[in-house]
A and B are shown apart, each in its own frame.
Chain A
Amino acid sequence: MIQLWRSTFGLVVLVAACFALATLVIGVVAYEVTHEALEIQLDHRVAIETHALIDEGDDGPTGVAAAIRRREAARSTASLDYLLVDPSGRGVAGLLDATAPITPGYLELLHYRRDGEHRIAQALTTRLPDNSRLVVAADRGVIDEMDATLLKLFAGAFGIMLLLGIGAAWLVGAVTRARLSRIDRTALAIIDGDLARRMPTTGTGDEFDRVSATLNRMLDRIGGLMDNLRQVSSDVAHDLRTPLTRLHNRLDEALTTENMDDKRQAIEAAAAQSRDLLDIFGALLRIAEVEALSPRAHFQDLPLDQLVEELVDTYRPDMEASGHLLITAIVPQIGVTGDRRLLQQLVTNLLDNALRHTPSGTTVRVELVHDGAVARLTVADDGHGVAPEDAPRLFQRFARAERSRSSEGHGLGLALVAAVATAHRGTVSLLTPPGFGVVVELPVGKA
């Protein structure tokens, strides 16, 4: 039962039933109120008529009888019926074919006959001063007709509500099922290996479209990660082959040479080579970890301006020693939410790059500004810059532009910068030439 209500169909049926029930309740109440009002109205009419008769007849039975006759002479179907009986109960005037009630007052159901037909009237019996009784009766046919009309009306409304409800339930259920089954089919197709498939959207921006759009974004993200993974696997295979080959050659050399000094040199070179390889793996794993967004769990508010300032101070001696000119413009009180060590590494990698890939005499500019909801860090230099064709893939793993090819490095530094920025919900971009510059934008947190 609970299961049924959880389905769209069941839910709509439930709502429809509620509406029908409400209609029913409203119907019953309206019926009762109308019925009562009509009865009161009839009572009222009978009472007025009784008073009029008694007034016209001056309390005397003869006068009343005359008044009755006058009215009956002009009677129509909607007219009231009258009966005047003397104290012994014999009819004096009036055509009402019924027994006059003994007790005066209102009688809701007075049985009488008209044209041989048994009918019911609402009557008021009044005792005249001479103890004769005057009965004024109004046929209840009006009320019954009205009741019947009301009943029909409400029964109709109830039926229509029920039908509409069931129809709506069926329609909504069918539409929902149809749209869900399209999503379902797409999902099954994706499971089957059609990874490029996306959830259908109608462009109306309704709930289904929103869910589909979210699912599509999720699929895009997963797709991006998968592409990345493929890319990384092949990059790793390609880029590690060279250092591994060198390592192998060195060890080979060590094995073949007889000269102990040469042997030692070769082994030392091989050890350095293997350390290098381990560094590459370390950097790759770190990027992978950052890309998996797991550090987000440890994010905290930290002052970015201080962090950058400290790192700039740390690099200043090296910059000066290598003949670089370091200029800074750091706006104070800029906070971000993030991982201190990862952000340190981001800034460090940018400073490392600026220092190692540019010649002496280069000016390195470090800038941190607050721009609306964004903290913008720029590390730029006026060195040779990179070739335009190198620019697009510079943030990918093992991407090495011409300017860095001569210096050591694995092309993983900027990939990590991009990964860290993304993990912090930020972006990275390159400044346009001349020179070379990386711009990192991070959402501002508490300072």
Chain B
Amino acid sequence: MRILIVEDDAETNRFVARGLTELGHHVVTSADGRDGLFQATGDQFDALIVDRMLPGLDGLSLIKALRAAGNTTPALMLTAVGGIADRVEGLEGGADDYLVKPFAFSELAARVHALGRRPATQTEASVLVIGAIELDLHRRTVTRDGRRIALQPREFALLAELMRNPRRVMTRTMLLERVWDFDFDPKTNIVETHLSRLRSKLNAGFDDDAVETVRGAGYMIRS
């Protein structure tokens, strides 16, 4: 992937750029809002990582300007802690995802991958099929190898989220955000608990595990 990082903090910029380069991405960096906008419009990228606070032009305005110009490159906005309103503003301003600093690199990488493969316009199919698992969003039913599996609403939502993102690691916080709509991390491991219940229901009577745990990163549906 070609990724543009617009971040004025040299330390963060270097840390993110190095990590993404190691994962095999082509990374371009910028430390200034205006320069970032210039780069983003002048070149083709698969994903943008933009800090909220930037000299020259702030991140939100940068993304707004890009969107106004018809540029739909997926953008991940970085922000300092706090900012309850920032999140809403960022997403409304055209950012596709939002990550609060400080973050673990694995979290950022997972989100960037999720962004990069997200189709530009998405009309969701009502039936998701990954391997032998079939999930019907309308009838709210799940089958594995044709065998009906009864799930609680949260477990269903969790599985749906994993199946919407095949071959992508979903981190704990991503799942908390998307399944529970939490923007905080509860002390109790609700994701783990729900996932283990989901897993045991999915795997009952089967030999192979339908959900893969990626150590230190998150979960992924096995295809």
Identify the A interface with B (CB < 8 A). Answer: 278-279, 281-282, 285-286, 288-290, 294-295, 297-298, 313-315, 317-318, 321, 339-342, 344-345, 348-349, 351-352, 355-356, 408-409, 413
Contacts and interface: CB of A to CB of B under 8 A. Distances in A.
B188 A356 contact: yes
B84 A289 contact: yes
Nearest to A351: B188
B205 to A, nearest CB: 21
A345 B185 CA distance: 9
Nearest to B190: A314
B102 A278 contact: yes
Interface stretch (B68-76, B131-139, B176-184): B176-184
The 6 closest A-B pairs by CB, nearest first: A285-B82, A352-B187, A317-B193, A285-B81, A348-B186, A289-B82
- For chain A, what secondary structure do more than half of its interface residues adopt (helix, strand, loop), or is it mixed? helix
Contacts of A298: 84-85, 88
Contacts, number: 70
Nearest to A307: B181
Contact of B189 (A313, A318, A348, A349): A318
Contacts of B84: 286, 289-290, 294-295, 298, 339, 341-342
A279 B153 CA distance: 30
B82 A288 contact: yes
Contacts of A281: 81
B154 interface: yes
B180 A314 contact: yes
Contact of B82 (A279, A286, A355): A286
25 contacts: A278-B102, A279-B185, A286-B184, A289-B84, A295-B85, A297-B85, A298-B84, A298-B88, A314-B194, A315-B188, A317-B190, A318-B193, A339-B84, A342-B84, A344-B181, A344-B184, A345-B184, A348-B182, A352-B187, A352-B188, A355-B188, A356-B187, A408-B187, A409-B187, A413-B187
Interface string B160-204: 000000000000000000001111111111100110010000000
B182 A341 contact: yes
Contacts of B153: 313
A274 B89 CA distance: 29
Contacts of B183: 341
* Interface of B (DSSP majority class): loop
Contacts of B83: 289
A317 B194 contact: yes
Nearest to A320: B193
A61 B32 CA distance: 123
A317 B197 contact: yes
B152 interface: yes
B197 to A, nearest CB: 6
Interface residues of B, number: 25
Contact of B184 (A278, A321, A348): A348
A321 B196 CA distance: 11
A127 B21 CA distance: 132
Interface in B3-47: none
A306 B90 CA distance: 27
Contacts of A314: 154, 180, 190, 194
B189 A294 contact: no
A344 B82 contact: no
Given A341-B184, A345-B182, 12 more contacts: A278-B102, A288-B82, A295-B84, A297-B85, A314-B194, A317-B194, A341-B181, A344-B181, A344-B184, A348-B184, A348-B186, A352-B188
A409 B188 CA distance: 11
Contacts of A348: 182, 184, 186
Nearest to A275: B104
A298 B89 CA distance: 11
Contacts of B182: 341, 344-345, 348
B139 to A, nearest CB: 21
A352 B186 contact: yes
A245 B185 CA distance: 25
A341 B88 CA distance: 11
Nearest to A274: B102
A313 B82 contact: no
A368 to B, nearest CB: 19
A219 B172 CA distance: 44
A314 B155 CA distance: 10
A351 B182 CA distance: 15
Contacts of B189: 318
Nearest to A409: B187
Contacts of A345: 182, 184
A356 B184 CA distance: 17
A356 B189 CA distance: 11
A72 to B, nearest CB: 105
A313 B154 contact: yes
Given A295-B84, A295-B85, A321-B193, A340 B181 contact: yes
A352 B189 CA distance: 10
Contacts of A279: 185
Given A314-B194, A321-B193, A294 B188 contact: no
B143 to A, nearest CB: 23
A444 to B, nearest CB: 23
Contacts of B152: 313
B154 A318 contact: no
Contacts of B188: 315, 318, 351-352, 355-356
A278 B194 CA distance: 26
B100 to A, nearest CB: 8
Given A313-B154, A314-B194, A317-B197, A294 B85 contact: yes
B187 A286 contact: no
B66 to A, nearest CB: 25
Contacts of B88: 298
